[in-house]
Amino acid sequence: ETGVTQTPRHLVMGMTNKKSLKCEQHLGHNAMYWYKQSAKKPLELMFVYNFKEQTENNSVPSRFSPECPNSSHLFLHLHTLQPEDSALYLCASSPMGGLDTQYFGPGTRLTVL
Amino acid sequence: AQSVTQLGSHVSVSEGALVLLRCNYSSSVPPYLFWYVQYPNQGLQLLLKYTSAATLVKGINGFEAEFKKSETSFHLTKPSAHMSDAAEYFCAVSPTGTASKLTFGTGTRLQVTL
């Protein structure tokens, strides 16, 4: 397995469910990111982790809870979501959090019913 | 603060024709600028980036972009479109030295016709 992988690729959940998105990078990077991509809106940065420490939280509602147990794995825990949270959630990684290029995973398509 | 405007949410060109995707930026500090491409059901892939070196930047797949400070633009071009270029293209800006804080445009979907 190479690059940045995300599971599941598709997820449908009810508003009362609890689910988690998983991201794994096999690039030896130290920074990881969560983005939200909604139709007709710019890609929105949600969270940034550098060396497992959260360095950016872009005013994301608490129903989204990130977890970074190590530099290779990033999770996004979801609970009591709203239909407007339906979107493509993209994970990315970079060597460091500075000038380096970000490498993106294929995303998880989330639908909240 | 920085922002990016991509003119034209959809662009259609014939195969072999010039591709021009427009991007204008706003930044209070010298910017770093990026173009990413997203193919269907895939994540974003970096095409090219400007980091204050040469103003004409060459990327992958025959794409290039020119940084024009006077016009606050970073338009993406390719001399001859190929069917495989059909995808969504995103321009992004970040303050100098912090490529991790990317601000993206809304994207331009490129259609290539025979």
Q: Which of A58-67, A90-99, B23-32 has the highest mean pLDDT?
A: A58-67
Taking residues B11-39, report their average pLDDT.
93
The rounded distance, in Å, linking the Cα atoms of A91 and A87 is: 13
Q: What is the pLDDT of residues B72-92, one digit of tens each?
A: 999 999 999 999 999 999 999
CB contact under 8 Å between A98 and B98, yes or no, is: yes
* Confidence check: pLDDT of B99 > 60: no
The answer to whether A106 contacts B44, with C-beta atoms less than 8 Å apart, is no
**Tokens 């979801």 found at:** A78
Residue identified by tokens 């269907």 is B40
**DSSP 3-state assignment of B62?**
helix
* Cis preceding-peptide flag for A8 (omega within 30 of 0): yes
Answer yes or no: is pLDDT of A2 > 70.
Answer: no
DSSP tag of B85: G
pLDDT of res. A19: 95
User: Is B23 a residue whose pLDDT tops 80?
Assistant: yes
Numbered residues of chain B with Cβ closer than 8 Å to any chain A Cβ = 4, 9, 32, 36, 41-46, 49, 51, 90, 92, 97-107
**Cβ contact B24:B5 at 8 Å:** yes
Nearest chain B residue (CA) to A5:
B43
Q: Name the residue facing B99 among A6, A99, A104 (closest C-beta).
A: A99
Cα–Cα distance, A87 to B66 (Å, whole number): 32
Res B43 pLDDT > 90: no
Q: What mean pLDDT comes out for the span A18-45?
A: 93
E strands present in B1-114 = 2-5, 10-14, 19-21, 24-27, 31-38, 44-50, 56-58, 64-68, 73-78, 87-95, 103-104, 108-113
pLDDT at A42: 87
Rg of the Cα atoms in chain B? 13
